[in-house]
Amino acid sequence: MFLSNTEKKILLECEDDYVSLWNAMKLINRNLPTDAPIPEWIISETLNSLYNLLSKKLITAGKLESKSKDKKNQFIDLQLSPDEIISLIKEAKEEFNFSPLNYGFVCWFHITKTGRESILNI
């Protein structure tokens, strides 16, 4: 299965921890400012990579919720299609004006069993 370099970076990052939309963008350009609009090419490359990974069922999108006193985050799968997830992100872009500080409110990404298995071939 072919994966772009960006897709590989995102997938490997998802193996270690939950990945926010902001962190996915920072994998493309680590020097993103938090006080300025994100360049459109970074947003486009991120969304294309996420769409491909979601379509191949290598990652899933969800929300993080705090779980009781221990404050460990619990990943709640959104159970949406890749098209619906990308639409959700694009709608949030308009609502939040894609302010870096708001990316965690949109969705997070986590590796799937299929994603873990595919890492062996990277």
Residue-wise pLDDT for 68-89, tens only, equals 666 677 889 999 999 999 999 9
CATH 3.90.1200 fits 5-119, yes or no: no
| Edge-to-edge strand ranges of the sheet holding 72-77 | 19-20, 108-111, 59-67, 72-77
pLDDT class for 56, splitting at 50, 70, 90?
A: very high
Residue-wise pLDDT for 9-27, tens only, equals 999 999 989 999 888 988 9
**34-50 mean pLDDT:** 86
Q: Are 11 and 58 in contact (CB under 8 A)?
A: yes
Judge whether residue 31 has pLDDT over 90: no
Q: State pTM to two decimals.
A: 0.88
In this predicted structure, what is the pLDDT of residue 82?
A: 98
